[in-house]
Homo-oligomer: A and B are copies of this chain.
Amino acid sequence: MTETTKPCIICVAITGSVPTKANNPALPVTIDEQLESTHEAFEAGASIVHAHVRNADETPTSDPEKFARLKEGLEKHCPGMVIQFSTGGRSGAGTERGGMLPLRPDMASLSVGSNNFPTRVYENPPDLVDWLAAEMRKYAVKPEIEAFDASHIFQAVAMWRDGRIPDTPYIQFVMGVKNAMPVDKPVFDFYVETVKRLVPDAEWCAAGIGPGQITVNEWSVAAGGHART
């Protein structure tokens, strides 16, 4: 398949872990709202759903029971859609973050390094990273590597080379997080070159946080990557 005909995968990130209905009344928070919102995106062409779940008070959670209900609904309403669960650190601590992996979603996010967030350290200690990767292998869940910084790409490659990540890595560049990596075109280009140099077959996508979202989507699609909305 040539670059020009390669389909662009659109990944819809419903809900996330930070915004609340106070920020945006349309934010899908309950499982029913999430299903409705994902269904709309699915009809519009999104093929991956990146999902977080929330408690009744809108705080993020890693509750496997909520993830199970979401997965059941998605399989019914959006058949064939790739389901990706977040194992990100805002929704739980330590191994709680991987408590939904036994549900065998198609994919799960995997942070492989640590970095600063706006007000704190995003902690992904090496032993937790290895445990999450092992759980993903055990339950045949494909990781989406969340690269918040350049070294995270190298870490993903090292884990792929030694088998901790069994298949060609799928890497998402995350830009625009305060105190981590800004939205910067030369960095984006360097990320793409680095992936091509180290794992020519790897698929990658890019997400811009907040005001950088559209910019990063445009860079990503133009460079042959996928887009997270």
Contact = CB atoms under 8 A, between A and B. Distances in A.
A151 B123 contact: no
B124 A116 contact: yes
Interface string A164-189: 00000000000000011110101100
A196 B150 CA distance: 18
Given A121-B121, A123-B121, A124-B121, A180 B151 contact: yes
A151 B121 contact: no
A121 B116 contact: no
A144 interface: no
A119 B96 CA distance: 20
A89 to B, nearest CB: 11
Interface string A7-25: 0000000000000000000
Interface string A110-134: 0001111011111111110100000
Contacts of A125: 116, 120-121
A190 interface: yes
Contacts of A182: 151, 154, 158
Nearest to A129: B116
A181 B126 contact: no
A194 interface: yes
Interface of A: 113-116, 118-127, 129, 148-151, 154-155, 158, 179-182, 184, 186-187, 190, 193-194, 197
